[in-house]
Amino acid sequence: MVDAFANLTREERIEKAVHTYQHNSKTTVRKAAKIYNVAPSTIIRRFKGHMGFKRLKKAKEEADKAERAIQQAVAKDTRETNVEMTRMAKIRQYLFT
């Protein structure tokens, strides 16, 4: 059975093993691990919601990218606010002096 899934990546085999374990009441963790050639402990960890290292790294990179975008938007908004406040101060000075 191992050869049947040789064309799948390790991550795909893990996902299929977890899916099989979750959705087939007759399949045990050991049986799913043997079918898909992955460690039983990996299936259990993923079943409990833990991410793989590559997935975790990718999620962290995406979060960092989103944070940088937010910081840039806030900085741009702050600059625009400062420009507007300077303009209003000049108008006030012109009107009241």
The string of pLDDT tens digits covering residues 12-41 is 999 999 999 999 888 999 999 999 999 999
Which pLDDT band, with edges at 50, 70 and 90, does 3 fall under? low
- 18 CB contacts (<8 Å, ≥6 apart)? 32, 43, 46, 47
Cα dihedral sign, 38-30-45-26: positive
**CA–CA gap between residue 42 and residue 38 (Å, rounded):** 7
Q: Is 80 exceeded by the pLDDT of residue 44?
A: yes
Does the pLDDT of residue 65 top 60, yes or no?
A: yes
What is the phi-psi region of residue 37: left when phi exceeds 0, alpha when psi lies from -120 to 50, beta otherwise? left
